[in-house]
Amino acid sequence: RLAAVSARPDTSETEGQIAENVEIKSTDPRQEGGAQADTLSAELRAWQGARRQNTAIAYRDFLEEFPESRYRSLAEREIRRLDQVSVLEPVKEEDALPDQQIKGPATAEVDRLSFTDPRDQRAYDAVRIGDQYWMTSNLAYLPDAGYCYDDQKVYCHTNGVLYPWALAPTVCPPGWRLPTRADWNRLLQTAGPDKPDLQLKGLAPGGNSQLNLTPSGQRNALGNYVGFGDRGSYWGAVMGEEIEGSLWQFDFSRGTVSEERAHPEVGASCRCVKE
């Protein structure tokens, strides 16, 4: 069984290319014209943000915002590299799947429970997958630092809150926690071992897992809302000396599932598992 982890950034650009890329910083609005200089400045900031995140999703978001960018060829090259390079590691024995797996149509009888978040009295359902209970909807508890897609509160009610990493590790209700990498790997193996298309079908609304992962988009590190209707971005905890965050990207438009590093200011969904 294999688990996806992120690839290292490509450092094959020459120093001359890198210098050329950041040369725009010296652009003077009085020389170039205010509107053009503002566009170049925004483009540079967006490019630098994509480079910091160094994920295929970040580069695609950049090209969506700046389709005629001078960095287009570099962004496309990075997308190809990140799509092609799949660094895989074996799942540890303790992370192996339990014998019990949910299979069959969505109408099959499954082990479910309901609970209420005492912080806002919102009710949730959860379903047992393997030996764990997973919430069947995105967490919608809204602290001061959370985001609603497009800054519209209705999306927090229907699709859950988008949380920055600073909140994600501790935002789950009492008795629940953020999934770890091992938790996500078990879930994916249950939904369709090593087959992203089957995993997406099993985890999407109406799928046999009844987990109902939704393409609720994300708030990227530049503060733009992207991906609604195409992909769902979910926080996962990478356990070590310090808990770090990674994004699990469920791209329904491309039929792919991946784990990526993310800037801590990215706003993403949270699905909690029972402790």
131 and 80 belong to one structural domain:
no
72 and 129 belong to one structural domain:
no
Residue 116 lies in a domain: yes
Type of residue numbered 120: D
82 and 107 belong to one structural domain:
no
Among 33, 59, 90, identify where a domain stops: 90
pLDDT digits (tens, 9 = 90+) for 65-84: 888 888 888 888 887 776 54
Residue 187 lies in a domain: yes
Dihedral pair phi/psi, residue 254, rounded to 5°:
-105, -10
In sequence order, which ranges of 125-255 are alpha helices (DSSP H)?
Answer: 153-159, 181-191, 196-203
pTM: 0.65
Q: Are 81 and 54 in contact (CB under 8 A)?
A: no
138 and 70 belong to one structural domain:
no
9 and 125 belong to one structural domain:
no
194 and 252 belong to one structural domain:
yes
Residue 47 lies in a domain: yes
CB atoms within 10 A of CB 88: 11
Residue 96 lies in a domain: no
230 and 107 belong to one structural domain:
yes
Separation of alpha carbons 187 and 208, rounded Å: 12
Separation of alpha carbons 49 and 141, rounded Å: 28
Longest CA–CA separation in the chain, Å: 69
**Enclosing domain of residue 121:** 102-274
Task: Sheet containing 176-177: give its strands across.
Answer: 112-117, 122-129, 132-135, 273-274, 176-177
22 and 128 belong to one structural domain:
no
- DSSP reduced 3-state for 264: coil
118 and 249 belong to one structural domain:
yes
Task: Sheet containing 244-251: give its strands across.
Answer: 225-228, 216-219, 231-238, 244-251, 256-261
Residue 24 lies in a domain: yes
Residue 95 lies in a domain: no
60 and 121 belong to one structural domain:
no
Question: How many structural domains is the chain composed of?
Answer: 2
85 and 121 belong to one structural domain:
no
Q: Which residue has the higher pLDDT, 143 or 272?
A: 272
Residue 115 lies in a domain: yes
The whole-number pLDDT of residue 52 equals 80
Q: Where are the beta strands (DSSP E) in 33-105?
A: 87-90
pLDDT digits (tens, 9 = 90+) for 154-206: 999 999 999 999 999 999 999 999 999 999 999 888 776 666 666 677 787 77
120 and 170 belong to one structural domain:
yes
Among 60, 90, 120, identify where a domain stops: 90
Separation of alpha carbons 184 and 204, rounded Å: 15
41: left (phi over 0), alpha (psi -120 to 50) or beta: alpha
Q: Which residues contact 53 (CB under 8 A, 6 or more apart)?
A: 220, 221, 260, 261, 262, 263, 266
Among 36, 70, 90, identify where a domain stops: 90
- Which range has highest mean pLDDT (68-72, 85-89, 205-209)? 68-72
Q: Which residues contact 192 (CB under 8 A, 6 or more apart)?
A: 198, 199, 201, 202
- DSSP reduced 3-state for 209: coil
pLDDT digits (tens, 9 = 90+) for 232-262: 999 999 887 778 899 999 998 888 888 998 8
Q: Which residue has the higher pLDDT, 225 or 58?
A: 225
Residue 260 lies in a domain: yes
pLDDT classification of 272: cutoffs 50, 70, 90: very high
